Amino acid sequence: MGSKHYALQGVDDDLEPAVKLVIKIRNEAAEKIANKYDLKLVGAGSSMPSCVVHSIHLHFMIDGRPFTKDVARELLLHCAHDLLEVINS
């Protein structure tokens, strides 16, 4: 990914396999979404108590493009679809 994006987390060998998988999914989805929709990734995270996934967080910023509520909703749905594609692949 280019320098305009947040640095994604690397995978440490000491991590649990489930944690490694979530980091991999999160990184792949973040890169795909940021590049596909020209968004800037500004943060990423997840919640996994006892290695059970509760949530995956991807935070993006849209630089200088005004959006109507309808366009923003459509973008959100496309991003959610792309995240699900990565999860299910």
Cα separation of 66 and 71, whole Å?
10
For residue 78, pLDDT over 90 is answered with yes
Mean pLDDT of the chain: 85
- Residue 3: is its pLDDT beyond 70? no
Domain boundaries, the chain: 17-88
What's the one-letter identity of residue 73? R
**Helices and strands in the chain: count of H runs, count of E runs:** 2, 2
Q: Above 60 in pLDDT, residue 22? A: yes
Q: What is the pLDDT of residues 28-52, one digit of tens each?
A: 999 999 999 999 999 988 898 888 8
- 8 pLDDT more than 70: no
pTM: 0.80
